[in-house]
């Protein structure tokens, strides 16, 4: 026995070193082409279309691979870099996945705006090995080789057609997100409502959807248990969910979920003593070897943390109450499942999104109750689409269910105190939160009576509360990085948002304002400053906006700042100058947000 333990102790470090080396090697492979520099000037590029979205938005997103660069010296350089592109609704319909284009357009590096609370687009696309960005339209390219729609795209278009035929137009975007994994057609209002209610995870096909699919299909096969064994049914189900993942384009969230559930399902079927936690860790290790950047992917982090929470805490939480009534027991089990999934994801949600949905338990319970029925009717609509009578009936019920889902989410969003905002936590506080959770969990599991976990919890939670209190009560003026001048004044929990727009329409600034308000909450007032002179007195600070002969000035306590739109409008260096993001040669430029305390 001692010799066996010695071998085990030696085996663990050896295994760790092997996986560490595999991760390093895989990281090298994933970054092997990232050292190629591509000029940001307009040049010619040969690109291959990898993905595209099909929506009716003004700008549609796609992903391409740059294959060749034709530089100014008439030299051809072979490269292999991914390119994120945006194009108009007309142009997106002229190209197919697999097309080879000769593109003449400016390509730039993907960058963050540097505005408060914004989504970290640079890290997000870096995890997908994509660092370049381009905007183009029909006049910027010619098609070198046109590919007909692939078999996968044909099936996807067919399934989309079924949804469009049987559901109202207003529900198509939500249905495509839930059943086809395509969130490109979701409206801003829908995503905002689901985010405020704590249900954004339901809009992306992930572990919840795949798990429910497996559960529903196992239930169906159980009815026919006389004709098919459980092992055979499991193999059929796994083949189906992998085919489903293929049809919707193998999005990362689906690949993670399908692979993870495949291992867990196979382990539970073929081994009575399988350890689901070990299988979960093994699936994560394999995916990280394939692509180490998954480690920094938000979806990867949240999905695996949710599963860790379920496996580690669900039994303990579910055991708090033992209801005899089947209905109450089912409701409590659903609540316990939502709570256990949320425990390990809360710190990262605060870190990334700066807000916390206070009624997440109610939201998760409602989603768990409705999701199985929704997925069943969604699958039924596709399966029975050949029958007009059945598809109309199923489509009607599915439309009603989607309506109830939206109404439920809207009701949660409108509840008093639905969302707590103002959280800005550091990496150290993030680490402290997870240390606190693990200490409390281990203390409960092993019945340890240590006071240190409570001291740590008090310190961490006090730090979070202190930072949030400061954000709620901070008084400042912030200039945002935007194509048009816009800034906000935060004072006494009030937000005055000023924007310079020809159309006097704050819609285009909504994303900036919503992100800012997550970090610095307050009641919002929007004010247009186009061709206007204004004076304000806030917190003993005099603020003036002067528009004089196409020149804009911001005056803070008699200190004059010129907002420079181009180098031609620059005045004497004696005046403080703040350049718009594209203006070069100035000491202060709005390539990120600038704060002025009041």
Q: pLDDT grade, residue 327 (50/70/90)?
A: confident
Count how many Cα atoms sit within 13 Å of the Cα of residue 543 in the half-sphere of its side chain.
Answer: 20
Q: pLDDT digits over 68-94, tens only?
A: 888 766 677 888 889 999 998 888 888
Residue 64 has a pLDDT of 92
pLDDT of 194-212, one tens digit each? 888 888 877 777 777 787 7
* Tokens standing for residue 214: 């497996």
Q: What is the mean pLDDT of the chain?
A: 80
Domain boundaries, the chain: 43-148, 154-421, 427-473, 476-597
CA distance 328 to 348: 31
Handedness of CA 496, 500, 501, 507 (dihedral sign): negative
Q: Return the structure tokens found at 337.
A: 């499942």
Tokens 């997000």 -> residue = 124
| pLDDT, mean of residues 534-559 | 80
pLDDT range class, residue 427, cuts 50, 70, 90:
confident
Residue 386 has pLDDT above 60, yes or no: yes
State the pLDDT at residue 6: 41
**Exposed, middle or buried, 6 (CB in 10 Å: 0-12/13-18/19+)?**
exposed
Tokens of 424: 């800005």
Alpha carbon separation from 450 to 105, 434, 440 (Å, rounded): 63, 17, 9
Mean predicted confidence (pLDDT) in 301-321: 86
CA distance 403 to 370: 12
Q: Report the share of the chain in percent with pLDDT over 70.
A: 86
Query: pLDDT: is 107 or 266 the higher one?
Result: 107
In angstroms, the CA 535 to CA 544 distance is: 4
pLDDT at 561: 83
- The third-level CATH classification (topology) of the domain covering 43-148 is OB fold (Dihydrolipoamide Acetyltransferase, E2P) (2.40.50)
Mean pLDDT is lowest, of 2-6, 449-453, 531-535, for 2-6
Tokens matching residue 593: 């947000």
Q: pLDDT at residue 29 above 70?
A: no
As to burial, measured by CB atoms within 10 angstroms (0-12 exposed, 13-18 middle, 19+ buried), residue 306 is buried
Q: Given a cut of 90, is residue 451 above it in pLDDT?
A: no
Most confident of the following: 160-164, 255-259, 262-266:
160-164
User: Which of 134-138, 469-473, 573-577 is predicted with the least confidence, judged by mean pLDDT?
Assistant: 573-577
pLDDT at 404: 93
- Looking at residue 140, the DSSP 8-state letter turns out to be G
Asked if residues 23 and 288 have their Cβ atoms less than 8 Å apart, the reply is yes
Bridge partners (DSSP) listed for residue 494: 491, 523
Confidence of residue 450 (pLDDT cuts 50, 70, 90): low
pLDDT of residue 8: 42
| Rg, Å, the chain Cα set | 27
- Is the per-residue pLDDT at 401 higher than 90? yes
Q: Are 138 and 91 in contact, with CB atoms under 8 Å apart? A: yes
pLDDT single digits (tens) 165-191? 999 988 888 888 888 877 777 777 888
Of the ranges 108-112, 141-145, 302-306, 568-572, which one carries the lowest mean pLDDT score? 568-572
Place of tokens 């002025």: 596
pLDDT in the model for residue 520 = 92
Tens digits of residue pLDDT in 357-384:
888 888 888 888 888 888 888 888 988 8
Question: Does the pLDDT at position 399 exceed 90?
Answer: yes
């Amino acid at each position: 026995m001692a010799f066996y333990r010695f071998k085990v102790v030696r085996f663990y470090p050896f295994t760790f070193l092997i996986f560490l080396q595999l991760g390093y090697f895989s990281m090298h492979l994933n970054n092997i082409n990232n050292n190629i520099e591509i000029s940001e000037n307009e040049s010619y590029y040969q690109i291959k279309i990898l993905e595209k979205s099909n929506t009716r938005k003004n700008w549609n997103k796609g992903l391409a691979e740059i294959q060749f660069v034709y530089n100014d010296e008439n030299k051809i350089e072979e490269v292999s870099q991914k390119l994120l592109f945006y194009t108009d609704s007309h142009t997106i319909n002229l190209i197919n996945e697999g097309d080879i284009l000769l593109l003449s357009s400016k390509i730039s590096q993907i960058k963050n705006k540097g505005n408060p609370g914004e989504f970290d687009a640079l890290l997000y696309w870096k995890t997908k090995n994509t660092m370049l960005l381009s905007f183009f339209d029909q006049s910027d390219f010619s098609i070198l080789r046109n590919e007909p729609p692939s078999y996968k795209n044909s099936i996807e278009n067919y399934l989309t057609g079924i949804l469009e035929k049987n559901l109202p137009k207003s529900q198509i975007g939500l249905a495509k997100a839930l059943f086809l994994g395509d969130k490109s057609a979701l409206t801003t209002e829908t995503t905002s409502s689901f985010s405020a209610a704590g249900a954004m995870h339901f809009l992306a096909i992930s572990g919840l959807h795949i798990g429910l699919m497996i559960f529903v299909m196992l239930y169906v096969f159980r009815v026919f248990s006389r004709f098919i064994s459980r092992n055979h049914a499991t193999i059929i189900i796994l083949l189906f969910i992998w085919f489903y993942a293929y049809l919707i384009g193998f999005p990362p969230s689906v690949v993670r979920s399908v692979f993870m559930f495949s291992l867990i399902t196979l382990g539970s079927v073929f081994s009575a003593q399988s350890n689901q936690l070990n299988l979960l860790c093994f699936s994560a290790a394999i995916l990280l070897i394939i692509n180490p950047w998954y480690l920094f992917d938000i979806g990867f982090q949240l999905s695996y943390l949710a599963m860790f929470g379920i496996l580690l805490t669900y039994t303990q939480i579910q055991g708090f109450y033992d209801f005899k009534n089947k209905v109450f027991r089912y409701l409590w089990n659903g609540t316990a499942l939502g709570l256990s999934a949320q425990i390990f994801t809360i710190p990262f949600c605060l870190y990334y999104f700066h807000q916390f949905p206070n009624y997440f338990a109610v939201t998760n319970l409602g989603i768990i109750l409705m999701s199985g029925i929704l997925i069943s009717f969604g699958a039924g609509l596709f399966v029975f689409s050949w029958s007009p009578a059945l598809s109309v009936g199923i489509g009607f019920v599915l439309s009603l269910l989607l309506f109830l889902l939206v109404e439920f989410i809207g009701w949660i969003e409108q509840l008093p105190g639905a969302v707590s905002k103002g959280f800005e936590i550091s990496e150290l506080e993030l680490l402290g939160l997870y240390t606190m959770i693990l200490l409390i969990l281990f203390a409960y599991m092993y019945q340890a009576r240590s006071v240190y976990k409570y001291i740590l919890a008090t310190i961490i939670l006090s730090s979070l509360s202190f930072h949030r209190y400061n954000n709620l009560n901070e008084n400042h003026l912030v200039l945002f990085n935007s194509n048009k001048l816009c800034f906000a004044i935060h004072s006494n929990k009030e937000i005055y948002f000023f924007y310079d727009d020809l159309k006097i329409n704050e819609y285009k600034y909504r994303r900036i304002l919503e992100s800012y308000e997550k970090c610095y909450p307050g009641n919002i007032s929007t004010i247009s400053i186009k061709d206007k002179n204004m004076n304000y007195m806030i917190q003993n600070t005099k603020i003036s906006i002067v528009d004089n002969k196409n020149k804009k000035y911001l005056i803070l306590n008699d200190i004059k700042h010129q907002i420079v739109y181009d180098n031609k409008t620059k005045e004497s260096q004696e005046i403080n100058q703040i350049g718009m993001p594209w203006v070069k040669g100035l000491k202060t430029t709005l390539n990120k947000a600038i704060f002025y305390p009041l």
